[in-house]
């Protein structure tokens, strides 16, 4: 049957070439498109995680819903010491968040002012890497403030300028000070750059009476795939019903849902494309089999069973599909690998999609051999299924009817 299948492939050239080309194109597009879609989602996630949201964050229950001084963590060092030896944790830091009014000459603006541990924070987020001009913070940098570029423009500040801060301390009292602009950052996230400023937590603790207190603790991990396991260990070590340890999946649930919805629409679009390809291949197979009814009738008359006939059609589609995959898969794999290392750059795309967390003009690809494998398997399966209707149709004829078919 295998030899007969090979002869049929070369004899019915039009059908063979059409099936080969359609399979080649659909495989190439499917692998490249899924790689680009996964790469975009991974990039959005990584950008958001690196800029400010961490892999795991530890809160006092109620802080994320209610906020306020009564929900600040106390004895922060104790909590950090309890979890720092957990396998898989990369770094731990405390953040103290407050809102205040910043004023310089005739300009004023509200700002999220965050007290951070500069050295640990540099290992958790990309705040230090986002430095645009000036300098990043140090533990003893005092009243130096590291501010978003758009907030700097709003206040018309220059490096070295002093400006006033008014806010509320952790005990509910009034807090005011004179800060100095020492560094400017740009993350590409518009709202963040227009409203956030950072200062050494050591200095802010004296101003806010917040020593050993924090709004929450952030934890980075070595392998993001292990975040759930590490989070379970953190919860067990803390063993405190007043605390909640949340992973990025909960902290960024809106983005995760948006990416899932985007993936669903992406796969629906691909499914429609695949359905078209499937029916085109099936129709060509049907036309081919219809033209061979007499030939098949003769085969059945000389003793070829229905099972052998199915094997013949299977050999034909498998050979054609594998031939197309042999060419398409290496090309598609190379494209996804190359563009995962050298992303396509479209100037201005970040400005268009900044509300969705896109902070780069690059279109990233995700190179994953498992994805390439299952994409190829889907194409193979669709092609194989396409022979069932032609097979059922040709078996509606008895051997005698088929052999007399014109």
Q: What is the pLDDT along the chain (406 residues), one digit of tens a residue?
A: 778 788 888 887 877 888 888 889 888 988 998 888 888 777 777 766 677 778 899 999 888 888 777 888 998 999 999 998 999 999 999 999 999 999 998 899 999 999 999 999 988 888 888 898 999 999 899 999 999 999 999 999 999 999 999 998 888 888 899 999 999 998 877 788 899 999 999 999 999 888 899 999 999 998 878 889 999 999 999 988 889 999 988 887 776 777 777 777 777 877 787 787 777 777 777 777 777 777 777 777 777 788 888 888 888 889 988 999 999 999 999 999 998 888 877 776 666 655 555 556 677 788 888 888 988 898 888 888 888 888 888 788 777 777 666 6
Q: Verify that 231 and 274 share a domain, yes or no.
A: no
The reply to whether 140 falls in a domain is yes
Is this model's pTM higher than 0.85 or not? no
8 A C-beta contact, residue 27 and residue 379? yes
Q: Verify that 33 and 69 share a domain, yes or no.
A: no
Among the three residues 240, 265, 285, which one is the final residue of a domain in this structure? 240
Whole-angstrom distance, CA of residue 390 vs CA of residue 406 = 17
Specify the number of domains making up the chain. 2
8 A C-beta contact, residue 52 and residue 357? no
Radius of gyration from C-alpha coordinates of the chain: 31
8 A C-beta contact, residue 197 and residue 157? no
The reply to whether 70 falls in a domain is yes
- Taking phi first (over 0 means left), then psi (-120 to 50 degrees means alpha), and beta for anything else, what does residue 156 get? left
Measure Cα distances from 370 to 276, 299, 320, 367, 373 in Å.
Answer: 25, 42, 23, 9, 5
Beta strands in 274-381, from DSSP E residues, in sequence order: 344-345, 362-363
The reply to whether 40 falls in a domain is yes
The reply to whether 246 falls in a domain is no
Whole-angstrom distance, CA of residue 114 vs CA of residue 137 = 12
Beta strands in 226-322, from DSSP E residues, in sequence order: 243-247
Q: Verify that 30 and 173 share a domain, yes or no.
A: no
Whole-angstrom distance, CA of residue 209 vs CA of residue 169 = 7
SS3 (DSSP) at 311: helix
pLDDT, tens digit, for every residue of 371-384?
A: 889 888 988 888 88
Whole-angstrom distance, CA of residue 359 vs CA of residue 341 = 18
The reply to whether 3 falls in a domain is yes
Q: Verify that 351 and 379 share a domain, yes or no.
A: yes
The reply to whether 55 falls in a domain is no
Hunting for tokens 């494998």 — which residue is that?
A: 373
Q: Verify that 272 and 382 share a domain, yes or no.
A: yes
Q: Verify that 107 and 127 share a domain, yes or no.
A: yes
8 A C-beta contact, residue 352 and residue 19? no
Q: Verify that 207 and 322 share a domain, yes or no.
A: no
Q: Which two tokens stand for residue 32?
A: 């490249």
8 A C-beta contact, residue 89 and residue 220? yes
Helices (H) and strands (E) in the chain, counts: 16, 14
Q: Verify that 135 and 212 share a domain, yes or no.
A: yes
pLDDT number for residue 278:
77
Q: Verify that 351 and 388 share a domain, yes or no.
A: yes
Size of the chain in residues: 406
Q: Are strands 243-247 and 107-116 parallel, antiparallel or unpaired?
A: unpaired
Containing structural domain, residue 217: 62-240
Among the three residues 240, 268, 289, which one is the final residue of a domain in this structure? 240
DSSP state of 334: H
The reply to whether 247 falls in a domain is no
SS3 (DSSP) at 335: helix
Q: Which two tokens stand for residue 46?
A: 């990584």
SS3 (DSSP) at 171: coil
Q: Verify that 101 and 139 share a domain, yes or no.
A: yes
Q: How many CB atoms lie within 10 A of CB 377?
A: 11
Q: Return the closest-CA partner of residue 190 out of 356, 324, 336.
A: 356
Q: Return the closest-CA partner of residue 199 out of 179, 217, 228.
A: 179
pLDDT, tens digit, for every residue of 228-285?
A: 999 999 999 998 888 999 998 888 777 677 777 777 777 787 778 778 777 777 777 7
DSSP string, 115-148: EE-HHHHHHHSSTTTTEEEE----TT-TTEEEEE
Whole-angstrom distance, CA of residue 264 vs CA of residue 267 = 5
Q: Which two tokens stand for residue 95?
A: 């953040």
Q: Verify that 24 and 104 share a domain, yes or no.
A: no
User: 31: part of which helix (H) or strand (E)?
Assistant: helix 13-51
CA dihedral of 20, 21, 22, 27, whole degrees rounded to 10: 90
The reply to whether 306 falls in a domain is yes
Q: Verify that 79 and 223 share a domain, yes or no.
A: yes
Measure Cα distances from 112 to 228, 261, 290, 310 in Å.
Answer: 29, 31, 72, 69
């Amino acid at each position: 049957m295998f030899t007969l299948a090979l002869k049929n492939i070369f004899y019915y050239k039009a059908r063979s070439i059409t099936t080969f080309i359609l399979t080649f194109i659909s495989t190439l597009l499917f692998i490249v498109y899924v790689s680009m879609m996964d790469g975009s989602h991974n990039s959005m996630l990584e950008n958001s995680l690196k800029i400010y949201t961490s892999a795991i964050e530890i809160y006092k229950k109620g802080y994320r819903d209610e906020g306020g001084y009564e929900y600040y963590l106390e004895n922060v060092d104790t909590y950090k010491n309890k979890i720092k030896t957990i396998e898989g944790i990369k770094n731990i830091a405390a953040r103290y968040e407050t809102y205040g009014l910043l004023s310089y000459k005739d300009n004023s603006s509200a700002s999220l002012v965050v007290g951070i541990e500069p050295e640990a924070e540099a290992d958790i987020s990309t705040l230090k890497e986002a430095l645009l001009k000036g300098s990043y913070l140090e533990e003893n940098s005092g009243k130096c403030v590291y501010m978003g570029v758009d907030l700097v423009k709003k206040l018309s500040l220059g490096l070295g300028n002093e400006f006033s801060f008014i806010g509320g301390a952790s005990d509910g009292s009034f807090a005011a000070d004179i800060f100095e602009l020492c560094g400017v950052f740009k993350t590409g996230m518009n709202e963040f750059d227009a409203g956030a400023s950072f200062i050494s937590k050591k200095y802010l603790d004296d101003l806010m009476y917040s020593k050993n207190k924090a709004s929450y603790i952030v934890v980075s991990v070595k392998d993001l795939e292990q975040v759930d396991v590490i989070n379970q260990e953190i919860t067990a070590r803390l063993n405190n019903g007043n605390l909640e340890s949340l992973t990025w999946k909960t902290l960024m649930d809106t983005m995760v849902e948006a990416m899932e919805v985007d993936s669903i629409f992406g796969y629906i679009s691909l499914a429609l494309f695949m359905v078209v390809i499937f029916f085109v291949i099936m129709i060509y197979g049907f036309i081919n089999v219809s033209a061979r009814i007499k030939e098949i009738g003769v085969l059945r008359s000389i003793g070829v069973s229905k099972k052998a006939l199915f094997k013949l059609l299977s050999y034909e589609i498998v050979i054609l599909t594998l031939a197309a995959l042999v060419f398409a898969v290496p090309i598609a794999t190379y494209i996804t690998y190359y563009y995962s290392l050298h992303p396509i750059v479209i100037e201005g795309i970040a400005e268009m999609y900044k509300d969705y967390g896109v902070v780069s003009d690059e279109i990233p690809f995700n190179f994953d051999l498992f994805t390439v494998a299952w994409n190829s398997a889907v194409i193979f399966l669709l092609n194989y299924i396409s022979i069932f209707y032609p097979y059922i149709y040709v078996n509606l004829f008895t051997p005698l009817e088929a052999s007399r078919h014109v």
